[in-house]
């Protein structure tokens, strides 16, 4: 059953596009998975940094509560503790803020409040740092009977000899009992009135409900006290942390997944190329199978044609013989004898064409031996002596004394065809030269030169094709047979211009056996 090559190619093309589409979908799926995983790693790294930030804020709250004395903390005490927290690799700075968002105590770098929205707590992510804003209660007293507990107050530093309305007159209250070492530092004692060595606090109101905690110091006015709470009261804090670990984790994961994506792309590309090679190999095998079938068919046709040509020569020989008998009869008229001669010549021409066709259709099996070029050349000269005399052409053979490796019969036929082709091309009284010359220690070149019209540039490769000829009486098989013999030996032949006039046929890579 005959197989349609177009349908097979179309079917393989559809399969190829389907395979390529599946490979593309697989690669896109891998890219999607890698992207999702990278986003998950970023979220995990972000959550880890947020968790460390929460731990730091928790620690900060504990530090503030541990340094609180009677509702106040001293700036010169809290900032060294903040400095210890800033010494860690991830924390860049810590800032304690009042209700207006102003810094009352800090450690580490400066804070640009203009770039932060401190209205609500949250996270402010930047390229190299993340800012955590915490507005939670930092340990102030709970409200009692509807009253608000005052915030923790950060008492600023007091330089030696300087006066500060925020601090009581006299020695630093944080340097002696009970401020420096209270009996229960985390609890606030109830007000018992002024005591030696203590700061008197504002007594409870007689009309209003009693309240716990510390009120306005007696050395401050009510306006100064509320101003102190506004300016120095702790309302929140800001922690600025470096995102170096977050960025390093994300960059490492991105690099790893990019490498995986690249390897996946290479794998998909390799599979695609392998599939393409497989398809091309299958198509090539199919074409080779078809070519082999066509070649076998052509061989059978060639054998049949050669057999037909061989069988055709027999009746032609009979016709030629009868024509010769008629031409020799004594009672035949001159016209009959002339017709018989014409029949003989035409039969000879057709027979020569059939012989060349049969010779061209023969398989070339080279039987290599050592051949003397000079001897083969002289045999060719003797075989073509009549043609040379008839056309009055000079054929000269340059003696070379070279022993060549070749099939003797094929080499003789090659030289014969080249010389007869030159004889047919040149005009009377022109010359032909046959020679062989050594190129190196291993190879020689065989040349046939003539002084005829030459061969046009466009025809120098076409003249070796079967049935190509520029002569009306030519068969176009002589040089095709030469090409067959040359290729069977592994030689090369070319047609060149024989300056200043004529054509040059050169056979190259003829192996030398020895020199006489």
For range 56-73, the mean pLDDT: 76
Q: How many CA atoms lie within 13 A of 469 on its CB side?
A: 15
How many Å apart are CA 151 and CA 230, to the nearest integer?
9
DSSP H or E stretch at residue 513: strand 503-515
Q: Rounded mean pLDDT of the chain?
A: 76
Contact between residue 392 and residue 428 where contact means Cβ atoms under 8 Å apart: yes
Q: 473 pLDDT band (50/70/90 cuts)?
A: low
Give per-residue pLDDT as tens, 48-57.
888 888 888 7
Helix (H, G, I), strand (E, B) or coil at 26: helix
Token pair, residue 220, equals: 């401050």
Angle at 60 between CA 55 and CA 64, to 5 degrees: 150
Contacts of 129-133 with C-beta under 8 Å, sequence gap 24+, read 129/92, 129/240, 129/241, 129/242, 129/243, 130/49, 130/53, 130/240, 130/241, 130/243, 130/246, 131/238, 131/239, 131/240, 131/241, 132/53, 132/56, 132/57, 132/238, 132/239, 132/240, 132/241, 133/236, 133/238
27, 36, 71, 280, 377 from 22: Cα distances, Å:
9, 21, 71, 19, 69
User: pLDDT for 259-278, tens place per residue?
Assistant: 998 888 898 888 888 888 88
Q: Which residue has the higher pLDDT, 447 or 111?
A: 447
Record the pTM: 0.45
72-102 pLDDT, tens digit each: 777 877 888 788 878 776 888 888 888 777 8
- Token representation of residue 283: 């198509």
* 151 contacts 235 by C-beta, under 8 angstroms: yes
d(CA 78, CA 60) in angstroms, rounded, equals 10
Q: If pLDDT is split at 50, 70 and 90, which confidence band does 170 have? A: low
- Helix, strand, coil distribution of the chain in percent, nearest 5: 50, 15, 35
Looking at residues 150-170, what average pLDDT do you find?
60
Q: Report strand pairing: 129-134 vs 91-97.
A: unpaired
Which residues have C-beta within 8 Å of that of residue 81, sequence separation ≥ 6? 63, 67
- Which two three-digit tokens encode residue 189? 């004692």
Distance separating alpha carbons of residues 418 and 395, to the nearest angstrom: 12
pLDDT interval class at 484 (50, 70, 90) = confident
Give the pLDDT band of residue 346 (cuts 50, 70, 90): confident
Name the more confident of 217 and 105.
105
Q: Are 458 and 515 spatial neighbours (Cβ–Cβ below 8 Å)?
A: no
Residue 418 is predicted with a pLDDT of 93
Residue 49 near residue 246, CB atoms below 8 Å: yes
- pLDDT value of residue 6: 56
pLDDT at 506 over 90: yes
| Amino acid 141: pLDDT | 38
Q: What is the DSSP letter of 221?
A: -
Residue 431 to residue 449: CA distance in whole angstroms: 8
* Mean predicted confidence (pLDDT) in 379-394: 89
Backbone angles phi and psi of 75, in degrees to 5: -65, -35
What is the pLDDT, as a whole number, of residue 297? 75
Q: Please check whether residue 402 is in contact with residue 376, taking contact to mean a CB–CB distance below 8 angstroms.
A: no
**370 pLDDT more than 90:** yes
Q: How far apart are the first and last CA of the chain?
A: 61
**Is residue 151 predicted with pLDDT exceeding 90?**
no
pLDDT at residue 92 in the model: 85
Contact call for residues 484 and 406 (beta carbons, < 8 A): no
Question: 353 or 35: which carries more pLDDT confidence?
Answer: 35
pLDDT at 400 over 80: yes
Whether 145 shows a pLDDT value over 80: the answer reads no
pLDDT tens for 293-322 read 887 777 777 667 766 666 776 787 788 888
Report phi then psi at 478, rounded to 5: -65, -50
Q: Which residue has the higher pLDDT, 170 or 242?
A: 242
- Residue 396's closest CA among 451, 439, 444, 438? 451
Q: Mapping DSSP to helix (H, G, I), strand (E, B) and coil, where does residue 65 land?
A: helix
177-236, pLDDT tens digit by residue? Answer: 333 334 333 333 333 333 333 333 343 433 333 344 455 666 667 777 777 777 777 777
pLDDT at 286: 81
* pLDDT above 70: percentage of residues in the chain: 75
Residue 329's pLDDT band (cuts 50, 70, 90): confident
Per-residue pLDDT at 338: 83
143 — pLDDT class (breaks 50, 70, 90) = very low
């Amino acid at each position: 059953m005959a197989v349609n090559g177009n349908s097979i190619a179309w079917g393989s093309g559809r399969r190829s596009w389907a395979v390529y589409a599946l490979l593309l979908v697989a690669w896109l799926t891998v890219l999607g998975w890698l992207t999702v995983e990278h986003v998950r790693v970023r979220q995990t790294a972000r959550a880890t940094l947020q968790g460390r930030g929460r731990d730091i804020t928790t620690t900060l709250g504990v530090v503030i509560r541990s340094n609180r004395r009677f509702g106040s903390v001293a700036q010169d005490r809290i900032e060294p503790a903040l400095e210890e927290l800033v010494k860690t690799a991830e924390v860049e700075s810590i800032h304690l803020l009042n209700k207006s968002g102003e810094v009352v105590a800090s450690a580490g770098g400066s804070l640009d409040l203009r770039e932060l929205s401190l209205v609500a707590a949250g996270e402010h992510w930047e390229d190299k740092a993340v800012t955590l804003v915490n507005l939670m209660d930092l340990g102030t007293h709970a409200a009692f009977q509807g009253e608000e507990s005052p915030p923790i107050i950060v008492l600023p530093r007091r330089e030696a000899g300087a006066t500060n309305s925020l601090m009581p007159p006299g020695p630093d209250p944080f340097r002696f009992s009970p401020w420096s070492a209270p009996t229960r530092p985390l609890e606030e004692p109830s007000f018992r009135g002024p005591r030696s060595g203590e700061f008197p606090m504002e007594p409870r109101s007689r009309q209003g409900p009693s309240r716990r905690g510390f009120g306005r110091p007696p050395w401050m006015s009510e306006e100064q006290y509320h101003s102190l709470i506004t300016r120095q009261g702790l309302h929140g804090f800001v922690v600025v942390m470096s995102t170096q670990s977050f960025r390093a984790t994300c960059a490492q994961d991105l690099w790893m997944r990019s490498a995986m994506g690249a390897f996946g792309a290479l794998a998909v590309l390799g599979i695609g190329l392998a599939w393409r090679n497989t398809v091309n190999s299958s198509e090539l095998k199919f074409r080779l199978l078809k070519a082999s079938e066509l070649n076998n068919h052509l061989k059978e046709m060639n054998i049949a044609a050669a057999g037909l040509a061989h069988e055709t020569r027999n009746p032609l020989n009979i016709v030629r013989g009868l024509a010769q008998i008629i031409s020799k009869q004594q009672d035949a008229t001159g016209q009959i004898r002339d017709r018989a001669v014409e029949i003989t010549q035409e039969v000879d021409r057709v027979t020569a064409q059939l012989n060349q066709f049969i010779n061209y259709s023969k398989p070339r099996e080279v039987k290599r031996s050592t051949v003397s070029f000079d001897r083969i050349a002289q045999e060719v000269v003797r075989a073509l002596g009549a043609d040379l005399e008839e056309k009055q052409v000079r054929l000269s053979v340059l003696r070379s004394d070279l022993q060549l490796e070749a099939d003797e019969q094929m080499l003789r036929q090659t030289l014969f065809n080249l010389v007869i082709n030159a004889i047919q091309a040149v005009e009377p009284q022109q010359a032909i030269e046959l020679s062989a010359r050594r190129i190196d220690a291993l190879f020689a070149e065989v040349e046939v030169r003539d002084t005829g019209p030459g061969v046009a540039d466009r025809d120098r490769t076409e003249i070796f094709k079967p049935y190509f000829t520029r002569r009306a009486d030519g068969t176009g098989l002589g040089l095709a047979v030469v090409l067959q013999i040359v290729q069977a030996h592994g030689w090369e032949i070319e047609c060149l211009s024989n300056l200043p006039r004529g054509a040059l046929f050169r056979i190259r890579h003829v192996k030398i056996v020895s020199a006489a």
